[in-house]
Structure formats: C-alpha cells, structure tokens
Amino acid sequence: MKKILFLAVIPLALSISSCEKKTGADVIVFADSIYTSNENNQFVEAFAIKNGKYVAVGSKKDVERFLGKNTVVYNAKFAMSGGIESHGHWILNEAFKLGFYIDPMNYKDGEPKPKTFNQILDEIKEYRIQHPEEKGIYGYGIDVTKNYFPDLKAFDEAFPDIPVFISESSLHGAYVNSKCFEMAGVLNEDKDGIKIDRDEKGHVIGIARDEACTYIRNKIFGAVVSPENYKIAVRNAARELNSYGYVMHYDTWSNFDGTDEMYKAIHAADEEGNLDFLFSSAYCIESFEKDKIDEMILKTLELKNTYTSNHFKPTMLKLFADGIVESGTGFRIDPYNTDPKDYGTQIWDASTMTSIVDKANEVGISVHIHTMGDAACKEAVDAFVYSYGNNGYIRNSLAHVAMIREDELKRIKQYDIGVTSGANWASQITQDDIDTSSVFISEDVLRNLYPYKEYVDYGIKAALHTDNPCSPGNLDLFGYIQVMLNGWDHSKPINKDTFIRRNTGFVTLKDAIDMFTINGAWMNNLENERGSIEVGKYADFIFTNKNPFEQKVDDVWQVGITNTFFEGKEVYSNPAM
C-alpha cells in the first residue's frame, strides 16, 4: 500500500478569496517534516508549487493560503530536495546493455561467483556465431579484478582474424586480443601517451587500461553505440535515476565513442517534451589528441551553444589527470610499492593541463578533472588557480580525489573549487581488496583513501556521485548516505559488525544530504535554480517512507523513496510503498 496519500483538496477551516481559489498553487505538500537543504539547514512543514517552482515554503499556516479549487495536495511523512548525481555514466551503461553485454558474475548454484575467463570466452564465441557479419566484436560488462587476466593464446586462437575488445563496466580496463592491438598499431610498441600492459619480454598480455582503452576503441571501432540506442538509453537512465531519488545527473564523458550522438539524443528528448529530468554533460579531451586541443575546446563551446536547452546543460570540458590509485595508475607524490621510481600515470604534463584549463575558461567553459592521486590533484588545482588569475572566477571542479594533501584542501576552499567525491569507493574494504591492492599500496594507504569528511571539516562545498557503473556499490540515495554516516554498505555481503573500516571519517546526515542536493547544484552552477526547497527554485523533490532523521545511524539505508517529483510533476511512484 502506498504510504503517501493523494487528496484532491483538503477541507480547511480558513477563508480563501475567490481570486485566490482561481489562482491557487498547482501543488501543495504538507509533511510531518521537510528538510530544505537551504543555508539555514531549515526544517519546514509545507510548500506550494506554481508552474513548476516553489511559491511558498514554511509552516502549514503559511502555505494554506495558496490553496485553490484545482490545487493537488499531497500528505507525506518526509520530504527533501531530490538527489543530484554529480559524476557518472548512466546513459552509457544503459546504452551498452542494449548491445553485447557480458555480466561478470555467474548466478547459478547459490551465491554469485565471478565468471572465469573461459566462461567469458565462450560467450564471445557464441556472440560471433550469432553475428557472423560483424568485422569486429565490441562488448561490455566484465570486471578484470573479478574475472582475472585473459588467456591471450586461447583468445587469439578463437579470434585470429577480427579485433575483439571487451570493456570493463568501469570503462578503465578491457580484454583485447592481439588482432585488435595490431590494428591499433600498438602490438609491438607503445604510442606517445599510450602505455600497454606487457610481460617481461615486451609482449602484450591482453589487457588495456585507462587511455589505452580509449585509444584502441576509437582507432578500431569508432562509434560503439547507435543513435537509436542512445535515445532509448536516455529515457532508461532517467527512469532508473528517478527510482533511486535523483532528479539531475552530470554525465562526464558524453563523447565517449567520439561522436555527438549522446548530445543529440538528450537534446531531442527535451525538445520533444520527453525529458522530465535534468542532464548536464562534459566533452572529454584525451591526451593522445593533444594536437587538437584548440579545435576540441571550440568543439565543446559549439556543443554548448547548439544543444543547451531547458533540461540539458552541456557546459563542461573533461580531462583525465591520471588513472586509479588501487591499480597503480593514479599519479602520486610518493612512489608505489612496485618501484621507487614509479609514481603512477601522469596523463597530461602540468604545463599542457594548465594551458587547456586557461583556454577553456577564457571562452566560458568550466573544466572537470578526474584526479585520484595527490600529485594529480595538485596539478589540477595549480591549473585552476593559474586560470583564475588570468580569467577571473569560473567554477572548475575535481572528481574522485582518492588522495589529497592539506595544501590542496586549503586552496580548494580559498579559490572555491568544486569537488565531487565517491563514497562508494570509501566504504568498507575486504581482505581481497587489501591483497589485490598490496602490489601497489600499503594497507594503511588503502584505508585512508577518499577522505570526504575533510571537505566538511574545511568548509568545502563537496558534492557526491555514484560514478555508476564504474564504482560498485549503492545506487539508491539512502543506501549511499548510509556509507557516508558509518562506512557500512548494506549492498555488500559483509557482516556490519566485523567489516574492515577505512580510517576515513564520517559526516552527519545533514552534511550527507546537502552534499547530494545543494552542493551538487552548486558544483554544476545551478544553485540559484535547484538543489534546495526555496521560493523561486524549481520544485524537484522526493518523499520517503520514513524520516531519516528519526532513524538509528545503522538503519538509514532502510529509508525508501516512495515518490520522485521533477518541476512539481510526479515522475516516479514506488509500487511497493
């Protein structure tokens, strides 16, 4: 049974003029408690909506005067601003599921177990039998850390004549056969800026990582998502995000396959009136395209000018500064365990990154930089600070930030730099995590990655993201918030009383909600329009079956989304609540 009651009109003992009845609010919400996420951390009892925006926020008495004869009234237990997913790839994930998708897990015989490489190879063979016309095979969904390294000999024997590229859902790794390496021109030697995993004799081992993935994929396959599938994926992603309590998503790699098709699909959905959701996006420049930097900055500006609409904000440019610390490719100040001279992968040299940021900011384009290691973080902050000196303030931002030093925290606060953190990566760790990462970093380093509480301590307006599908863990809003409160990820089969905690500190419930709402709007330059329940802003909000502020700290994950509203319109209703 639904916990939210719908009433056409609630009879109230007050006087309302005929004029007020005719011009009353479209929607009024009365709730036991409403958290507004405004700067005063205010709780209220009610709000009214007209033409998709809040026209009154306050006590029931304040809002009752906006009742009209056609006002729709909701009674809720708890309401708050809708969630903002500030970095992720939901559209790509949905698009790839429409193609050749390989689930990394085997669900037969009880508890799910990772598929072996041979099981995955059998699926690729079957796919080729079903699609003999294809000149190359592009697949998606594996997890190298779970499915192990490929048997390259068996891989090549099965597919000696066509390129095969099977991407991780993280988009940072792939199984690649020798024919694919050969056609990309990197079988026997690396290209400038492209490092291929090789054995001690210099032979490829069948794995591509980070920018090598992008280089090979673009070189061999070009567009890997059809325009039709992008259109379906936009709708599917919006619906799924709504079900988890989100009303906005920042897609941070919208030219993933080297085309404008995702931009076109989002824009078309909005122009057709089929987008009850807000997307923003970024155009990514890869380091192997450094001879096209000026051209690609202008391309980003062209996309912004061409496709900006009510519910689509293609306003940013994306850079990768490094890889991932846990796998030894994050760019660090201190060396990795593997080699005293191994500091990870510096994708852009500092001067080039600074130049890109400066040029992009000069034409009004914000820059969003993937940084994991502390050296990458310093490099990015240096670039932002330099550009501010030349161009004045523009809201650039960092993503992930697994490692950060105090000097950068201070400068992020001083220069009002945006940050979005991934708490799913900062949840509990297993012994397998420790064993896997121990090749590169110590357990102490692993335990201290993703220090999101430090943003709160320094007064930084940090936002949050799931980075779906790149970061396994919670997708639902309150399951994720649970991780922020005590490190516990209920979606993982680990005993909450014995799991290995990270040393990362935790935040309050108010802090976590603000990071998912008003801080996310701020990072996306939309804080004057969205992200909190305040008069004049768009009415994007959710109802829940319980008041999270009344739950024990270990039980917040049990709070469920019952309804999601976008601009005052209900876009999701949970049939089970």
* pTM for the model: 0.90
pLDDT of residue 147: 63
Q: Which helix (H) or strand (E) holds 58?
A: strand 53-58
Is residue 2 very low, low, confident or very high in pLDDT (cuts 50, 70, 90)? very low
Higher pLDDT, 421 or 33: 33
Tell me the average pLDDT across 553-562. 95
Is residue 148 very low, low, confident or very high in pLDDT (cuts 50, 70, 90)? confident
Tell me the average pLDDT across 176-197. 89
> How far apart are alpha carbons 336 and 346 in whole angstroms?
14
Tell me the average pLDDT across 84-106. 93
Helix axes 350-362, 374-391, angle to 10 degrees: 40
> How far apart are alpha carbons 166 and 150 in whole angstroms?
11
CA 439 from chain center: how many Å?
A: 28
Task: Return the HEC string of 496-507.
Answer: CCCCECCCCCCC
User: Are the C-beta atoms of 65 and 20 separated by less than 8 Å?
Assistant: yes
Is residue 564 very low, low, confident or very high in pLDDT (cuts 50, 70, 90)? very high
- Compute φ and ψ for 126, nearest 5 degrees: -65, -40
Check pLDDT > 60 for residue 10. no
Q: In residues, how long is the chain?
A: 577
Is residue 341 very low, low, confident or very high in pLDDT (cuts 50, 70, 90)? very high
User: Are the C-beta atoms of 333 and 378 separated by less than 8 Å?
Assistant: yes
pLDDT by residue (tens digit) across 524-533? Answer: 999 999 999 9
CA atoms 287, 292, 297, 299: torsion sign: negative
Is residue 20 very low, low, confident or very high in pLDDT (cuts 50, 70, 90)? very low
User: Are the C-beta atoms of 287 and 211 separated by less than 8 Å?
Assistant: yes
> How far apart are alpha carbons 233 and 93 in whole angstroms?
8
Is residue 18 very low, low, confident or very high in pLDDT (cuts 50, 70, 90)? very low
Is residue 3 very low, low, confident or very high in pLDDT (cuts 50, 70, 90)? very low
CA atoms 245, 248, 252, 254: torsion sign: positive
User: Are the C-beta atoms of 506 and 39 separated by less than 8 Å?
Assistant: no
